[in-house]
Chain A
């Protein structure tokens, strides 16, 4: 597909122009953090960022989302409306690791049987524009160990790569091509391609943190009862920050809220780190301590997801490593498992 060049300083203008025509989610500076937020009403695009504090999974899978509405009648509360409508929108400036997470989430929410219409609707109507990492943003990045690359079009409809003075604009999908009019007229030449390959190779080599993520699957297959699992959770506070920050964590709760005669059924992010997550009415809890919960998290990412979808449910963004209040490092966990 077609490739173009845009001037480096034109990026924010393009995002703003798009935002005049449709909802655009882009990195926005909020106090000390960069977060993805809809542009407009004071939200200005901010591209001088390494990666956003939170993963942008909430664009497709909001923290809290209304599934349906209901209303009181003399015969009880009855269903009144399904809530699921998304306008065409753009997710602008996603880092390749986070774009990779969308491909992983698709496997779960868009299965052959039981399609999750709420996720799929947003995904279908959103164009993902990835912004390649030409320098590794953090020492905690390890995308290359989990099937990712700092310059990658995986999960993107358009890929932007900083090749010096210009961004190389690659339209990856037809959905991406439909936004071509926003990216000027300058066609990219072969030299731009060469430059991009050089930059991509260099960026890949500069990811210093490596973990044996693929090697541990057969070890996890046979080590469910290994005493090793007693060694991780001791300092875990069960705060759930790791699952909150994680681009691929997708567990949710469903609950009802009533106000007066009307109510909504909502789903909200939940976490396998919380004791209540699996606690049954009887009091029985199949994952009774933080040990079982930590094992679940590690197993789900590096074994169960591989069993189910042939993919590791980790993109190497390093957010859980940076945000854990007690410095539990998933890279060390994986490393330790590889030595079992």
Chain B
């Protein structure tokens, strides 16, 4: 049996600097042992522990979609010891990844429904995984309308800029990208995410909202969806907590009787209501 504490060895295959401030990068990893890719079979919404020997580990949501074969991607902001070391990495270097960990976006529940995806800032990573999964080939037929509302503080802070352009070209996706404040070259929408949600006003009919973003965005976005008639069972989000083991043992990411690492990170609002407000 696989020891869940031992990372799979990976090579840093590609590093993409996502934002103007250069502190958010996407890391593409290839498995040193090709058979490990199969063992790392994941579902959008899951996360991994990025492991840099000598520095430690950091739990990060998986940004690629399982439909993207041959590699796995994580988009990481430079913040603490491990992520700073990661940002110093160069292509061709070796490190480790553990996982996939946690539950995932509830794909079976989402199937056949209209999907509203709301993302703010840097929290767009596992939503990107979900979007790429849903629009891949025949997968698209399994889901109804897909509406995406994604915002960042300014144009330079938008993630996955090339993909956003590609997505906007598709007629089976309703993409709404917004920035709090544009610049000289910005021709898109301006406005905060909650306001744009109100404007776009996605129907609650047979719909599920998947919302990820900074707490302040969530706080103002939820009332919009309640007003649109979305029930708490049909609003889904993902939590972050400090983690170490990632497998429900080390004891720091519990919220009440649930471990965010093992029972989450994805919860419906109805489920969150039953948890203690300790996250």
Report which A residues bind B (CB closer than 8 A): 67-68, 70, 73, 75-79, 82, 84, 108-109, 111, 114-118, 224, 250-256, 258, 263, 265, 267, 270, 272, 277-282, 286-287, 292, 296, 299-300, 303-304, 307-308
A108 to chain B: closest residue by CB: B249
Q: Are A68 and B251 in contact (CB under 8 A)?
A: no
Question: Contact string, B32-59, partner A, CB cutoff 8 A, digits 1/0?
Answer: 0000000000000000000011111100
CA of A263 to CA of B96 in the docked complex: distance in angstroms? 15
B238 to chain A, nearest CB (A): 15
Q: Which residues of A contact B248 (CB under 8 A)?
A: 108, 111, 114
Q: Which residues of A contact B244 (CB under 8 A)?
A: 252-254
Q: Are A114 and B247 in contact (CB under 8 A)?
A: yes
For the A-B complex with A73-B94, A296-B254 known, give 7 more contacts whose Cβ atoms are closer than 8 Å.
A76-B94, A82-B6, A114-B249, A256-B55, A263-B54, A267-B250, A270-B252
A114 to chain B, nearest CB (A): 4
Q: Is B278 an interface residue, CB under 8 A from the partner?
A: yes
Given A67-B5, A278-B252, A286-B279: A258 in contact with B54 (beta carbons within 8 A): yes
Q: Is B168 an interface residue, CB under 8 A from the partner?
A: no
A47 to chain B, nearest CB (A): 34
B91-144: which residues lie under 8 A (CB-CB) from chain A? 92-96
Of the residues B57, B252, B256, B278, contact of A277 by C-beta under 8 Å: B252
Number of B residues whose C-beta is below 8 Å from A?
Answer: 43
Q: Which residues of A contact B57 (CB under 8 A)?
A: 254
Q: Is B188 an interface residue, CB under 8 A from the partner?
A: no
Of the residues A79, A224, A272, A286, contact of B96 by C-beta under 8 Å: A79
Report which B residues bind A (CB closer than 8 A): 1, 3-7, 9, 11, 52-57, 79-80, 83, 89, 92-96, 240-242, 244-245, 247-257, 262, 276, 278-279
Q: Are A75 and B94 in contact (CB under 8 A)?
A: yes
Of the residues A111, A117, A296, contact of B3 by C-beta under 8 Å: A117
B8 to chain A, nearest CB (A): 9
CA of A255 to CA of B276 in the docked complex: distance in angstroms? 29
Q: Are A304 and B6 in contact (CB under 8 A)?
A: no
CA of A76 to CA of B89 in the docked complex: distance in angstroms? 9
- 16 intermolecular pairs with C-beta atoms under 8 Å apart: A67-B6, A68-B5, A75-B11, A75-B92, A76-B94, A79-B9, A84-B3, A111-B248, A114-B262, A118-B5, A252-B245, A255-B56, A256-B54, A265-B5, A267-B250, A286-B279
Q: Which residues of A contact B252 (CB under 8 A)?
A: 251, 270, 272, 277-278
Q: Which residues of B contact A67 (CB under 8 A)?
A: 5-6
